[in-house]
């Protein structure tokens, strides 16, 4: 068994081109520990990511702030306590609203991300 406290995991600033604005990532479970990836993603006000797809399903759980999750067909405002299930291959984006920071947990298996 391994017990992890989110507050003890260093947040790494992301330099990935998938993000716009300031975003940090706390990797809870990485590819080094198996095929399931779990991260806390922290978005500054108005930060988000561009439309993209994954080769696996992705589950998001909103921890804090106010954000949006969108597909090419709809956009939904989300707040703490919300679960979002994104099927593999669905073009989507997510991020903070202009007036709020936003944090969510991301759970998916390893695979490709395209944008």
The string of pLDDT tens digits covering residues 68-98 is 999 999 999 999 999 999 999 999 999 999 9
Q: State mean pLDDT over 56-62.
A: 97
Whether 34 has a pLDDT exceeding 90, the answer reads no
Looking at every residue in the chain, the average pLDDT score rounds to 95
Alpha-carbon span 58 to 92, nearest angstrom:
11
- Tokens, residue 18: 């998938």
- CATH code of the domain made up of 10-114: 2.60.120.10
Question: So what's the pLDDT on residue 51?
Answer: 98
Q: How far does Cα 108 stand from its chain's mean position?
A: 10
Q: State mean pLDDT over 50-61.
A: 97
**For the chain, which residues make up each domain, given as ranges?**
10-114
Whether 31 has a pLDDT exceeding 90, the answer reads no
Question: So what's the pLDDT on residue 38?
Answer: 95
The string of pLDDT tens digits covering residues 3-26 is 989 999 999 999 999 999 999 999
- Tokens, residue 2: 């391994």
């Amino acid at each position: 068994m391994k017990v992890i406290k989110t507050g003890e995991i260093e947040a790494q600033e992301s330099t990935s081109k998938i993000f716009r604005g300031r975003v940090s990532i706390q990797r809870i479970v990485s590819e080094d520990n198996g095929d399931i990836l779990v991260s806390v993603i922290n978005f500054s006000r108005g930060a988000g990511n561009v439309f993209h797809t994954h080769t696996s399903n992705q589950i998001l759980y909103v921890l804090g702030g106010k954000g949006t999750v969108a597909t090419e067909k709809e956009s939904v405002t989300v707040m703490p306590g919300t679960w979002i299930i994104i099927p593999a291959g669905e073009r989507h984006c997510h991020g903070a609203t202009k007036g709020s920071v936003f944090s969510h947990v991301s759970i998916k298996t390893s695979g490709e991300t395209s944008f």
